[in-house]
A and B are shown apart, each in its own frame.
Chain A
Amino acid sequence: MSGILSKAAKNTSERIYKFFGKDSGNMLLATSILGFTLSAGAQIGAIVMNKRYSFSQKVFMVPQEIGELVMAATAIFVITKPMQKITAKMVKTGKIAPKELVKYMEDNNIISKRGKADFNLGNEIKNIIKKVQSSDEFINSNNKESLLSVHQKTLGQYEACADSASAITTTAAGLVTTGLVVPVVRNNFAAYWQKQGLNYYNSITTSKPHNSKI
């Protein structure tokens, strides 16, 4: 039984790796959308069943939850994705770079390309590694190995920087979205639907009309 479970966990891990690849930003987005949906569903159920809320309050709170879900998902594509894309390009072209990478670009005479729209620092480092690997200039293999390890370390630093920048950007966008954009839009959305809902309710019930004060 434990063997089957560990095999299933390993397979799941392999699939998740293939699906999200090396981009933690996309993983955070996908799980955020799913998380918002699950949470909103449960919260709507809790609002509907809570006897402490009046009818008019429920007619506001349910659209508020729906508005939050829709807005949070929309903001991901309108705010977070473009911010992620711009940050990724800034890291790829070396426009944002740790000081070690700046020195590396200077040492390898590629500093003039830094910040150009078509420059790809990661590919440049990989090309340098390939050149070193295929070069016959080295007197002994120790020199070659030590030089290769320097370039490979730099490639690791570049990838760590790219990933950190992606996570920081995603979180920063999340802070703006959650702290300001989502609550403002969802409240307006919910207020509109509360008015519509109460108007509709009053139009079908004549005995005891509801208003927002009830």
Chain B
Amino acid sequence: MNIAASSGVNFQSSFYNRFFESLPNKDIKNPAAFNKMGQRLASPHWNRLAIGLAAITTQPFLDYFNPRVDKDTAKASALRTISKIIVCTSVGFAVRGSCYKLTNKFMHASAKEGSIALTPAVILNEKNPEIQKNMLKLHRNTFSTVFALGVMLFTNVFVDAPLTTILSNKLISAQKARQNKDKAVS
């Protein structure tokens, strides 16, 4: 796929190049920390957790204060969003994390280090140890993400959806009980 065309940004234009060159150069002062962060975020379970945390920080509030729907729908929608984020993030983190650990167990750079049952031939044949290390890290992330996606074909339907329903129903009941209690007090 032509990314430049699909994204609508013309990276070949002279205007874009002039603008690009005018941007200041930036040195990465702590490359070890930068790479560690990159590797962590490229790993499927940490990436899922980061997205889940971002979602729970804003989405329930945006749902609750949605001015275009009635108060009951806004409340039900916010409670369902909270339930969905908690369940999907927890299950997603657990599934992706388990798949990542399992992949790591069977994907090493050489037979001396451990099992090479899942290591592609291209990585095994790479002569440059630095490049081989990067290729291996990257492919562990890629393989485990695709592996997790296969597992989630089932967990999305048989775990996430029913647990979301159970949790959101419990939250709705708790919210109604609190509402009734407040009414009784007043």
Q: Which residues in A have their C-beta under 8 angstroms from that of B122? A: 17
B151: min CB distance to chain A, Å: 11
Q: Which residues in A have their C-beta under 8 angstroms from that of B112? A: none
Q: Which residues in B have their C-beta under 8 angstroms from that of A199? A: none
CB atoms of B62 and A38 under 8 A apart: no
Q: Which residues in B have their C-beta under 8 angstroms from that of A164? A: 34-35, 37-39, 42
Q: How large is the interface on B (under 10, 10 to 19, 20 to 34, 35 or more residues)?
A: 35 or more
With most chain A CB atoms within 10 A of its CB, the pick from B6, B7, B8, B160 is: B7
Whether, in the assembled complex, A209 has its beta carbon less than 8 Å from a beta carbon of chain B, the answer is no
Whether, in the assembled complex, A115 has its beta carbon less than 8 Å from a beta carbon of chain B, the answer is yes
CB atoms of A194 and B69 under 8 A apart: yes
Whether, in the assembled complex, A196 has its beta carbon less than 8 Å from a beta carbon of chain B, the answer is no
Whether, in the assembled complex, A152 has its beta carbon less than 8 Å from a beta carbon of chain B, the answer is yes
Indicate with 1 or 0, residue by residue over B104-139, a CB within 8 angstroms of chain A CB atoms.
001100000000011111110000111101110111
- Decide: A61 near B169, CB < 8 A? Known: A161-B34, A179-B55: no
Q: Which residues in A have their C-beta under 8 angstroms from that of B35? A: 160-161, 164
> Which single member of B117, B120, B141 contacts A24 (CB below 8 Å)?
B141
Instruction: Give complex CA distance A28, B48 in Å.
Output: 10
CB atoms of B26 and A95 under 8 A apart: yes
- Decide: A191 near B66, CB < 8 A? Known: A16-B146, A168-B41: yes
- Tell me the chain A residues, 12-56 only, with Cβ under 8 Å from chain B: 13-14, 16-17, 20, 22, 24, 27-28, 31, 34-35, 38-39, 41-43, 45-47, 49-50, 52-54, 56
- Decide: A46 near B58, CB < 8 A? Known: A52-B172, A82-B9: no
- Decide: A24 near B160, CB < 8 A? Known: A52-B169, A57-B72: no
Whether, in the assembled complex, B68 has its beta carbon less than 8 Å from a beta carbon of chain A, the answer is yes
> Which single member of B34, B149, B169 contacts A31 (CB below 8 Å)?
B149
B145: min CB distance to chain A, Å: 5
Q: Which residues in A have their C-beta under 8 angstroms from that of B84? A: 43
B133: min CB distance to chain A, Å: 7
Name the residue of chain A whose CB is nearest to the CB of B81: A183
CB atoms of A31 and B146 under 8 A apart: yes
Listed stretches A98-106, A139-147, A200-208; interface member? A98-106
Indicate with 1 or 0, residue by residue over A143-176, a CB within 8 angstroms of chain B CB atoms.
0000000001101110111011111101100110
Indicate with 1 or 0, residue by residue over B65-102, a CB within 8 angstroms of chain A CB atoms.
01011101100110010001000100010000000000
Name the residue of chain A whose CB is nearest to the CB of B4: A85
- Ranked 8 nearest A-B pairs via Cβ: A164-B38, A156-B130, A98-B31, A191-B68, A167-B42, A117-B17, A46-B161, A42-B161
Which B residues are within 8 Å of any A CB, using their own CB? 3-4, 6-9, 11, 17, 20-21, 23, 25-29, 31, 34-35, 37-39, 41-42, 44, 47, 50-51, 54-55, 57-59, 62-63, 66, 68-70, 72-73, 76-77, 80, 84, 88, 92, 106-107, 117-123, 128-131, 133-135, 137-139, 141-143, 145-146, 149, 152-153, 156-157, 160-162, 164-165, 168-169, 172
Given contacts A9-B118, A192-B68, 20 further A-B contacts (CB under 8 A): A9-B117, A13-B119, A17-B143, A28-B42, A31-B146, A38-B156, A39-B88, A42-B156, A57-B73, A64-B77, A77-B6, A78-B8, A85-B4, A85-B7, A85-B11, A100-B31, A118-B17, A164-B42, A174-B47, A179-B55
